[in-house]
Amino acid sequence: MTSTNEHGSRIYLFSIVLVAIIGGLLFGYDTAVVSGAEKALENFFRSGLGDLYTSGWHGFTASSALLGCVIGGAISGLLASRFGRKRSLLIAATLFFISALGSWWPESGILPYGAPTKTLLVVFNFYRILGGVGVGLASAVCPMYIAEISPAKIRGTLVSCNQFAIIFGMLVVYFVNYLIRNSLGDTAEAIQSTMNAIGWRRMFVSEAFPAGLFGVLVFFIPETPRFLALRGRDEKAYSVLAHINGATEARSILDEIKATVHEQREHIFAYGVAVVAIGVLLSFFQQAVGINVVLYYAPRIFENMGASGDASMIQTVVMGIVNIIFTVVAIFTVDKLGRKPLLIVGSAGMMVGMIALAALSFTDTIGVAALVFIIIYTASFMMSWGPICWVLIAEIFPNTIRSQAVAIAVAAQWISNFLVSATFPSLSAWSVGGTYCIYALMALLSALFVWRWVPETKGKTLEEMSALWKKR
């Protein structure tokens, strides 16, 4: 106990962060599970609704969870401020679990099982939206929780671990989808037939297991010391800080936190419009570059490039592994190189990848080259905008407006995500190459935005953010 009191415990800190990032894993799992199921969903609903199930309807169904993400992101500030970060994570876990069961069995014992009616389509989308609320909530609160509990010197690394968990969750669900698909029959025809009937259901219900685990483990983690201090629970805040940082440093950190508590009733624009606008634009550009089009529609994109069903799923898994590797690159460099250099380099790489994909599309060239440039694009995103946008959103706002400002930034992110993902089927029907050119332009604009407007926050404490924005 002496070592913990005097020097803090990294094991304690890492165990807390490990629980929190399960929320990130579920974020990735829930948003990517549809990638393996969306084609079977289209076949299922089209078999009953016919031409009524248009490409627009399918785009909505494939991305309806994103509407919930907007709602979850928007209410995250209210919930995190009123109930705390820990209880907000519990709410997210509950929503994940209910959504997994409801998406698996949208009939709920009331509607006829397996009958693809308009009512069933509405109910299915309701459960997906409910899960999206959980995702939106977790996407805001998980990095906020980690940032508020982490020492400044390693905060970027630990918050980046949340992005690692998001990508790992996507990789896990790609692999789970692949296993489910290949357990459904011995021939391609049998697999597709079973996928249309029950395969997509099994993909969605698989999320219930990590969601249940997350809900149980959250009970055992503490509330963040910054929320506790803002609520006047100084002794408890000091206890958590001492376990993490040691007794002496904990007292100094608590004094810094308390120095900002008197400002806790400040309105959202107390530090100017710029800080909120920069947070919103970080969120916008993270989605406007088109990353979730690649993640959500990965199997279909690979099929359009000439890969068969199994091969497209395997290529999706390969892409997930690449994403993991380059997210690790960000984890080990974000606190050394800083936030801005990585963001600018990542934007340049994404622009190159999308321009190349556009050129290949315009020339009807498919095959290995397209896969290579998709990997270049996603790797560039994962080493930069993927994790670092979340790091900045979690740390860039002063303590007294953080929950409100994070909620606005995250809601903006999910609105952008929904618009980009829902419009992709229609845009690609217009011109696949032209769509990629739009994403390339957004990558260029994102680099210019970071270079001109985003401050470097490497090594700064959360309490120093108040002084940073007051100087501007």
pLDDT of residue 260: 62
pLDDT of residue 87: 94
Q: What value does the mean pLDDT take over residues 95-118?
A: 90
Q: What value does the mean pLDDT take over residues 233-260?
A: 84
pLDDT of residue 5: 53
Residues of the chain by 3-state class (helix, strand, coil), percent to 5? 85, 0, 15
pLDDT band per the 50, 70, 90 thresholds, residue 447: very high
Distance (Å, whole) CA 378 – CA 284: 17
pLDDT exceeds cutoff 80 at 41: yes
pLDDT exceeds cutoff 70 at 345: yes
pLDDT exceeds cutoff 50 at 402: yes
pLDDT exceeds cutoff 80 at 137: yes
Q: What value does the mean pLDDT take over residues 118-128?
A: 92
**Measured between alpha carbons, how far is residue 41 from residues 33, 198, 315, 396 in Å?**
12, 10, 21, 40
Q: Measure CA 60 to chain center.
A: 19
User: Under 8 Å CB-to-CB from 417, ≥6 apart: which residues?
Assistant: 66, 69, 287, 292
Interaxial angle between packed helices 402-430 and 273-288, expressed in degrees from 0 to 180 and rounded to the nearest 10: 30
CA angle 293, 294, 298 (to 5 degrees): 115
Q: Which pair of tokens denotes residue 25?
A: 């894993």
pLDDT band per the 50, 70, 90 thresholds, residue 295: low
- Percent of the chain at pLDDT > 70 equals 89
Q: What value does the mean pLDDT take over residues 154-158?
A: 83
pLDDT exceeds cutoff 70 at 311: no
Contact 68, 109 (CB under 8 A): no
Residue 461, Ramachandran bin (φ over 0: left; ψ between -120 and 50: alpha; else beta):
beta
The residue with greater pLDDT, 465 or 52, is 52
- Percent of the chain at pLDDT > 90 equals 26
pLDDT digits (tens, 9 = 90+) for 312-323: 556 666 777 777
Q: Closest by alpha carbon to 142, among 242, 224, 197?
A: 224
pLDDT of residue 316: 65
pLDDT band per the 50, 70, 90 thresholds, residue 470: low
pLDDT band per the 50, 70, 90 thresholds, residue 125: very high
pTM value is 0.77
pLDDT digits (tens, 9 = 90+) for 162-201: 878 888 888 888 788 888 888 877 777 777 788 888 888 9
Distance (Å, whole) CA 271 – CA 472: 9
pLDDT exceeds cutoff 90 at 343: yes
Residue 325 identity = I
pLDDT digits (tens, 9 = 90+) for 324-335: 888 888 878 777
Contact 239, 251 (CB under 8 A): no
Is the domain 7-221+263-470 a CATH 1.20.1250.20 member? yes
Residue 163 identity = Q
Handedness of CA 393, 418, 358, 295 (dihedral sign): positive
Q: What value does the mean pLDDT take over residues 49-71?
A: 83
pLDDT of residue 303: 60
Rg value, the chain, Cα:
22
The residue with greater pLDDT, 130 or 456, is 130
pLDDT exceeds cutoff 70 at 300: no
Which residue matches tokens 């997994």?
Answer: 100
Q: Closest by alpha carbon to 331, among 291, 282, 377, 383?
A: 383
pLDDT exceeds cutoff 70 at 310: no
pLDDT digits (tens, 9 = 90+) for 354-401: 999 888 888 876 667 777 888 889 889 988 898 888 888 878 887 777
Q: Which pair of tokens denotes residue 77?
A: 């500030």
